[in-house]
């Protein structure tokens, strides 16, 4: 099982790195978002009294993990169409190894790209201290596992890349938007304000703000955010494993 997990993990890393369009899109799209939003709102919008570029930097880190998870887990659909997935399913390898290898591969990519962007924090005015960097990396690791597990589950259940992109825009992007990554939402319409409490991304973004900036106005405490993020990561990893181990007619097509 260990070799199978490593082989699938290694395949995800090599496949992603060699695909320059995915690599560029996963990293540059959030960076462009940060440059556009922070530039357009600089001086005119100061959430909790801080520069918007500083506020949105944390949200951009969360966005990188989400976008990378989307680009990496879409390979599940491609592997099914190319026949690779069927070959793995009929092998003696435990099905749980498929979920473990795929999710760890996508999580590694998401974490790696997020850490690269994290090192740019001093250019935004955020001071990087070793303890805060380590805490941030820990939160990013949990968040990467969570969103990759969610993306993997959705991709496993989808038959087309077009359908997957549709679900992404319908489901995953609203999760990010209503997490407080882009703007404070505790004083928004009561429906959105209520949704943020059940949105697991809220706790991941909040934990990241606590870890990186030392405080997170408008977010639950660091302990609550960490508990919510751990539950999110554990639940999505378990769900991804469940959908793989459940046999269905989809496995043969």
| The predicted structure's pLDDT at residue 233 | 95
Write down the domain spans for the chain. Answer: 2-252
| The predicted structure's pLDDT at residue 91 | 76
Longest dimension (CA), the chain: 60
Residues in the chain: 253
pTM score: 0.88
| The predicted structure's pLDDT at residue 252 | 47
CB atoms within 10 A of CB 171: 11
- What six digits make up the tokens of 224? 């609550």
- What six digits make up the tokens of 50? 């801080």
Please, which contacts does 188-195 make with residues 24 or more away whose CB atoms are closer than 8 Å?
none
| The predicted structure's pLDDT at residue 247 | 60
* Separation between Cα atoms, residue 46 and residue 167, nearest integer Å: 32
| The predicted structure's pLDDT at residue 11 | 86
Q: Which residues of the chain have pLDDT under 70?
A: 187-191, 247-253
CB atoms within 10 A of CB 138: 15
């Amino acid at each position: 099982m260990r070799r199978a997990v490593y082989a699938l993990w290694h395949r995800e890393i090599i496949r992603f790195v060699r695909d320059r369009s995915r690599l560029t899109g996963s990293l540059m799209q959030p960076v462009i978002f940060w440059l556009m939003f922070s530039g357009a709102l600089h001086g005119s919008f100061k959430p909790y009294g801080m520069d918007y570029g500083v506020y949105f930097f944390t949200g951009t880190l969360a966005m990188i993990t989400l976008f990378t998870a989307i680009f990496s887990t879409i390979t599940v659909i491609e592997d099914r169409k190319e026949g690779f997935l069927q070959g793995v399913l009929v092998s003696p390898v435990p099905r749980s190894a498929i979920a473990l290898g795929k999710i760890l591969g996508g999580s590694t990519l998401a974490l790696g790209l997020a850490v690269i962007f994290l090192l740019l924090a001093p250019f935004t005015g955020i001071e990087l201290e070793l303890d805060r960097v380590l805490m941030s990396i820990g939160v990013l690791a949990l968040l990467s596992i969570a969103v990759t597990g969610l993306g993997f589950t959705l991709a496993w259940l989808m038959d087309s890349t077009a359908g997957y992109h549709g679900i992404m825009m319908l489901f995953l992007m609203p999760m990010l938007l209503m997490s407080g990554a882009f703007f404070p939402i505790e004083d928004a319409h009561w429906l959105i304000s209520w949704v943020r409490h059940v949105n697991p991304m809220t706790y991941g973004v909040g934990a990241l703000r606590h870890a990186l900036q030392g405080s997170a106005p408008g977010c639950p405490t660091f302990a609550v955010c960490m508990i919510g993020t751990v539950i999110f990561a554990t639940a999505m990893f378990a769900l991804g494993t469940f959908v793989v181990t459940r046999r269905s007619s989809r496995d043969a097509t």
